[in-house]
Amino acid sequence: MHSVMLPPSLRVIERGWLNCNQVVMLAAGDNVLVDSGYCTHRERTLELLASPAGLDGEPLERLINTHCHSDHMGGNAAVVSEYGSRITIPAGEVKNVAPWTPQSVWMEEFDQRADPFHFDDTIDAGQSFEGGGFRWQAYAAPGHDMDALMFFEPVNRILISGDALWENAMGFVWPEEGANPLIDAARETLATIERLEPSAVIPGHGAPFVDAAGAIARVRDRLDAFARDPAKNARHVMKSMFVFALLDKRSMPLADVPGYVARVPYYRRVSERFLGVPPEGLAEWLVGDLLRSGAISVTGGVLRPNAIA
Ligand SMILES: [Zn+2]
Question: What would the pLDDT profile of 43-93 be if each residue is shown by its tens digit?
Answer: 999 999 999 999 999 999 999 999 999 999 999 999 999 999 999 999 999
Q: How far is the CA of 294 from the centre of ligand 1 (A)?
A: 21
Confidence (pLDDT) at 285:
93
Confidence (pLDDT) at 105:
67
Give the mean pLDDT of 292-309.
Answer: 96
Q: On the CB side of 241, how many CA atoms lie within 13 Å of its CA?
A: 25
87 Rama sector, left if φ>0, alpha if ψ -120 to 50, beta otherwise = beta
Examine the pLDDT at 278 and tell me if it is beyond 80.
no
pLDDT band at 298 (very low <50, low <70, confident <90, very high): very high
Examine the pLDDT at 2 and tell me if it is beyond 70.
no
Are 261 and 254 in contact by the 8 Å Cβ rule? The answer is: no
pLDDT band at 309 (very low <50, low <70, confident <90, very high): very high
Examine the pLDDT at 3 and tell me if it is beyond 90.
no
Q: How far is the CA of 72 from the centre of ligand 1 (A)?
A: 6
Q: How far is the CA of 295 from the centre of ligand 1 (A)?
A: 17
- For ligand 1, a single-atom ion, the residues with CB < 5 A are 20, 71, 163, 204
Closest CA to 89 of 76, 104, 80, 107: 76
Q: How far is the CA of 56 from the centre of ligand 1 (A)?
A: 25
pTM of structure: 0.96
